[in-house]
Structure 1
């Protein structure tokens, strides 16, 4: 039978500190509790491992030999166990970078204030993930809601609208439009749904992502076609202006989770919060549109 890990940990700290009080303080237990741990270990092994020497505690030859053989084994065990222990209070989320930067991260301090005991670990990627195989509790993804085998909760439908900074070129028929390669069809979709004649200009600025398109628009570089969820605060603060009414797409952003969930208490708290925040965000976007 393996010896008590708690006893080995107590013995190791005694070896390092030479003091029952100091070792007990490190472990957050009483001197008596620490002594009992070592005594239990001694009974298991059938040898004496420590002895008092004045006000100090020293290890016997058997104790020193045991510590020497253990080496850094306890540290390596602790390093392996700590991530598993933390996992019980950690929420792991996968989402896309633009949503994270311009919608989720600005709102997360509210969740952290409500649930300070929950550690949030956020990862951004555009690739599809497998929630059954990967170490995430949930994901936020864009789509139609049809993810087989997963529970999909709609947060908000996507709404597209052209926005620009005050003073920038705001001619929708001109060459100041900003396109994102990751969402190249957004301009033509909005144009057609808005029943505008002709087609959007082929010129303008092409960037990699909608996050970059938004930054370019905020800097006065042209007109970006952006989801209203990302710009409500910029519209309220007058950093951006809405140039035409938005259109609502069939696609939206969904919170995805397994049908049988891990960390159900933590994920449930996050789900309740993000659904409420999404409803508030939709209301703010509607208010910004009506101004």
Structure 2
């Protein structure tokens, strides 16, 4: 296969250097592949014409007899080769938009050989029947048949566009996410508020949408403190109340047997490093705030 591809590239480009560049190999490797093919077929496929090496009549006859078979084989093999370097990760849109995607430039810089494909869904993916290698799930870390490692525990903190609302929660127009409808009662109890959370406000589908609505000034949203670094620094949102830490967390999960363990291990180590760095920054920030 490799020898035929090398011979076809030489016939197409006419010279060794451009043919080798087209295949992403050295000139020497191209010559060796063609020589190996000649040895297998016991035929002279390349001859010298002046200072150039060109495909012989036997070589041209071989390529003509193959027609587009080589092209079709290469087209069929290419996706399989790409998959060896592709890591497919599933998560929810809120985590992807507000934590994962802003950090992916760092992952790409450290792992240029990995093609990452990120998909988002609100449901739990089925590793046995879906084309997914790993996922980031929110929960308690116990999923049958899967290995999991905690990235960080979830938190709830109220945020809004600066200057719109007082610190008194009873008067807030709240933004609820259907995907996390118990967040407001949990924060309310966790911070010792009297009564029940406000009922006036709007309801959206996801926490990502709730965050967008709060940025637009539509009310107060609850989200994870770890999603807010850039938004708080840029002054686009402000914290309106204390943080409540949850027992659940975000976990990196994958089946015990994976298609490409090297890629999965690379993603796990990178995620743990990223979450660890952020944890250290948040602890330092809290210490600074307490000492002021």
Instruction: State the TM-score, normalizing by the size of structure 1.
Output: 0.84
Give the superposition deviation at 1:277: 1.9
Aligned to 2:229: 232
Cα distance change of structure 1 residues 101 and 9 upon mapping to structure 2, 3 Å threshold: same
Matched, 1:251 2:245: no
Conserved 8 A contact 1:94-1:140: yes
Aligned to 2:261: 264
Aligned to 2:171: 174
Give the superposition deviation at 1:25: 4.4
Structure 1 counterpart of 2:111, from 93, 109, 115: 115
Cα distance change of structure 1 residues 11 and 233 upon mapping to structure 2, 3 Å threshold: closer
Matched, 1:80 2:76: yes
Aligned to 2:143: 147
Conserved 8 A contact 1:232-1:285: no
Does the residue aligned with 2:157 lie in a helix, a strand or coil?
strand
Deviations 1:57-105 (A, max 9, x none): 5555543343233233323322333333333333322111110110111
Mapping of residues 16-165 of structure 1, within 5 Å: 16-27=12-23, 28-30=25-27, 34-35=30-31, 37-55=33-51, 59=55, 62-165=58-161
Structure 2 counterpart of 1:214, from 205, 208, 211: 211
Structure 1 counterpart of 2:5, from 2, 6, 9: 9
Aligned to 2:273: 276
CA distance in 1 between counterparts of 2:21 and 2:107 reads 33
Conserved 8 A contact 1:92-1:121: yes
Does the residue aligned with 1:221 lie in a helix, a strand or coil?
coil
* Alignment RMSD: 2.8
In structure 2, the gaps of 5 or more residues are none
CA distance in 2 between counterparts of 1:285 and 1:79 reads 49
In structure 1, the gaps of 5 or more residues are none
Aligned to 1:191: 188
Cα distance change of structure 1 residues 12 and 162 upon mapping to structure 2, 3 Å threshold: same
Structure 2 counterpart of 1:241, from 222, 238, 255: 238
CA distance in 2 between counterparts of 1:47 and 1:279 reads 61
Which is further off, 266-275 or 206-215? 266-275
